[in-house]
Amino acid sequence: MPNDTLAKHLFHWETQPMKWAMRLRVALYLAQALEYCTSKGRALYHDLNAYRIVFDDDGDPRLSCFGMMKNSRDGKSYSTNLAFTPPEYLRTGRVTPESVMYSFGTLLLDLLSGKHIPPSHALDLIRDRNIQMLTDSCLEGQFSNDDGTELVRLATRCLQYEPRERPNPKSLVAALIPVQKETEIPSHVLMGMPQSGATLPLSPLGEACLRMDLTAIHEILEKLGYKDDEGATTELSFQMWTNQMQETLNSKKKGDVAFRHKDFRAAIECYTQFIDVGTMVSPTVFARRSLCYLMSDMPQEALNDAVQAQVISPIWHIASYLQAVALSALGRENESEVTLKEGSVLEEKKNKTA
């Protein structure tokens, strides 16, 4: 997304701190996003934190799809600092829908304090009725005691030790709607962002993705090679040249040959061997396998790989472009349009810094 993450705007702001009305809006939009995911059978969201909330061109908060990746759906993935981890995860090693509510509570603390405060410390302050120590000093005069108390109450409910005592997304939405402020003011105004009305001209790759011209995309990726991997798959020390490493590189090379000759099934097999070993990480390999899946009429697998490429390289425009193509192939046109625009913005930024 072109306007950074919640973490950037809360913890590392440069021009102005986030206003109280916008913080409440973030909480509501996030609760609504989680309610929607739950209604679609995707109640698990892994490692929910301020870095997973991003802002679109209009300044509206959006939930990143990174926490919903297919390889995280088994409920066994959590990478946050243990101080912020749901207590049941420490006991069982599994993430549940109630764990997501716990993480939502930590985000409410982030919004209230402007800092990433460990839940145990925050709960101590709440029990001691020392709410002032928990509140961001930049918010002075922006909200009433009742408003602050309501957000603290919601956070406390989400942070209950027993999972069954935590609220669900629907009840969070119901609680957050009445406390919204300045609802008539657009998010980009509250955030102090210029609204991006102009549409960037698309590059040849962007145009190919808009047309879903897979042949043209293939030609461009083939010409680009591995330039955007920044040496991740080539700069190896002498000690790393083990037999396993050589076999891994051979798998990638065979995949590249198959990719060049448009043998996409063989390329998928070879790239999968390279990825499964896990010795080296290459966003380009995921991008290439994503296109191979598209060529093989496997759009969901293509989307998963494009998302993984962006996890590895968050500002890589090609990952966004391929997500747009996969989303369009899945019939998710609105999401595809937004993601295509994100790719165009990222490509423009890259070209300006080149």
Domain closes at, from 129, 159, 190: 190
Both 245 and 296 in one domain: the answer is: yes
Both 213 and 176 in one domain: the answer is: no
What is the reported pLDDT for 78?
52
pLDDT in tens, 128-139: 787 778 888 888
Both 60 and 137 in one domain: the answer is: yes
The domain spanning residue 209 has which CATH number?
Answer: 1.25.40.10
Structural domain contains residue 1: no
What is the reported pLDDT for 284?
95
Across residues 329-348, what is the average pLDDT?
88
Q: Which two tokens stand for residue 15?
A: 């021009």
Give the count of domains, the chain: 2
pLDDT in tens, 72-91: 444 445 555 677 788 888 88
User: Which residues are tagged catalytic?
Assistant: 47
Structural domain contains residue 63: yes
What does the angle CA 68 – CA 73 – CA 75 come to, to the nearest 5 degrees? 115
Q: Which two tokens stand for residue 312?
A: 């590895």
Both 173 and 276 in one domain: the answer is: no
Q: Helix/strand/coil (H, E, C) string of 136-166?
A: CHHHCCCCCHHHHHHHHHHHHHHCCCCHHHC
pLDDT surpassing 60 at residue 244: no
Structural domain contains residue 279: yes
pLDDT surpassing 90 at residue 218: yes
Domain closes at, from 160, 190, 220: 190
The domain spanning residue 84 has which CATH number?
Answer: 1.10.510.10
Across residues 289-307, what is the average pLDDT?
96
Residue 130 per-residue DSSP state: -
Q: In whole angstroms, what is the distance from residue 242 CA to residue 220 CA?
A: 33
Both 222 and 153 in one domain: the answer is: no
Both 81 and 162 in one domain: the answer is: yes
Q: In whole angstroms, what is the distance from residue 106 CA to residue 10 CA?
A: 13
pTM of the prediction?
0.57
What is the reported pLDDT for 25?
96
pLDDT surpassing 50 at residue 106: yes
Amino acid at 154: L
Domain closes at, from 190, 214, 241: 190
pLDDT surpassing 60 at residue 260: yes
pLDDT surpassing 90 at residue 261: yes
Both 145 and 232 in one domain: the answer is: no
Both 235 and 304 in one domain: the answer is: yes
What is the reported pLDDT for 242?
58
Q: Which residues of 19-34 are buried (b: 16+ CB within 10 A; e: fewer)?
A: bbbbbbbbbbbbbbbb
pLDDT in tens, 156-188: 999 999 999 999 999 999 999 999 998 888 888
Both 186 and 229 in one domain: the answer is: no
Both 308 and 212 in one domain: the answer is: yes
Q: In whole angstroms, what is the distance from residue 239 CA to residue 94 CA?
A: 36
Domain membership of residue 179 as a residue range: 6-190
Both 150 and 264 in one domain: the answer is: no
Structural domain contains residue 195: no
Q: Which of 164-168, 194-198, 232-236 has the lowest mean pLDDT?
A: 232-236
18, 76 Cβ separation under 8 angstroms = no
